[in-house]
């Protein structure tokens, strides 16, 4: 795979892909630990990681938290349809959604709905309050259809590489 950046081409090799695969599952490894896993010394691994970060292959490093332990165990998927479809209304909706902490993911989608939201709250009462007080206050929402998660089967942030 090649990526053109500033008139130069970055080509990923097998080691780069191994580094990416390892880091997306354990981003807190030290350079030394990562180097041992890909059978290289520290300096070339450090340089490769910096190159992958600079080229945008690595966007961020995060800690994945347990929503249940943080009392945010009710996951809701909400499909939203807007009443009108103008750039101004769409941009305002996005701005409003970005201000809602309970919405942890938002996707602009095609099909019967305009947006797909992933929402984390404590319980049904909190979700009801969220819908009535916060989501319901956003202008130009035509409809919102909620689906409640009963059990999580698979959840990964890994990209298949």
Domain for residue 67, yes or no?
no
Task: Provide the mean pLDDT of the chain.
Answer: 93
74 with 122: CB under 8 angstroms?
yes
Q: Supply the pTM of this predicted model.
A: 0.85
Q: How many domains does the chain have?
A: 2
- Please indicate, yes or no, if residue 117 is contained in any of the structural domains: yes
Specify if 160 maps to a domain.
no
DSSP codes, 78-93: EEEEES---HHHHHHH
- Same domain (yes/no): 128, 93: yes
Query: What sign has the CA pseudo-torsion 14, 20, 25, 27?
Result: positive
Residues 47 and 80 in one domain: no
Average pLDDT over residues 11-26: 95
Write the pLDDT tens digit of every residue in 62-110. Answer: 999 999 999 999 999 999 999 999 999 999 999 999 999 999 999 999 9
Domain with 138 in it: what CATH number?
3.30.70.920
pLDDT, one tens digit per residue, over 123-156 is 999 999 999 999 999 999 999 999 999 999 999 8
Residues 44 and 78 in one domain: no
Tell me which residue range forms the domain holding 96: 74-148
On whether both 133 and 85 belong to a single domain, the answer is: yes
Domain match, 36 and 102 both: no
For the chain, give percent helix, strand, coil, nearest 5.
Answer: 35, 25, 40
Question: Could you tell me the two tokens for 91?
Answer: 């941009």
User: Of 73, 60, 89, whose CA–CA distance to 126 is shortest?
Assistant: 73
pLDDT value of residue 10: 78
Q: How far apart are CA 9 and CA 148, in angstroms?
A: 45
Instruction: Look at residue 2 and tell me whether its pLDDT is greater than 60.
Output: no
pLDDT score recorded for residue 9:
66
Find the CATH number of the domain harbouring 42: 1.10.10.10
Query: Is 153 part of a structural domain of the chain?
Result: no
Q: Which of 115, 109, 106 is nearest to 83 (CA)?
A: 115
């Amino acid at each position: 795979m090649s990526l053109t950046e500033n008139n130069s081409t970055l080509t990923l090799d097998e080691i780069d892909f191994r580094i990416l695969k390892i880091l997306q599952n354990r981003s807190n490894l030290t350079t030394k630990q990562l180097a041992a896993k890909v059978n290289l010394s520290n300096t070339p691994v450090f340089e490769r990681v910096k190159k992958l970060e600079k080229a945008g292959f690595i966007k961020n490093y995060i800690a994945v938290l347990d929503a249940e332990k943080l009392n945010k165990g009710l996951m809701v998927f909400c499909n939203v349809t807007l009443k009108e479809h103008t750039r101004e209304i769409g941009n305002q909706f996005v701005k409003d959604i970005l201000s809602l902490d309970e919405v942890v993911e938002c996707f602009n989608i095609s099909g019967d709905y305009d947006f797909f939201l992933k929402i984390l709250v404590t319980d049904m009462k909190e979700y009801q309050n969220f819908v009535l007080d916060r989501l319901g206050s956003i202008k130009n929402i035509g409809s919102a259809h909620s689906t409640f998660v009963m059990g999580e089967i698979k959840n990964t942030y890994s990209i298949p590489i």
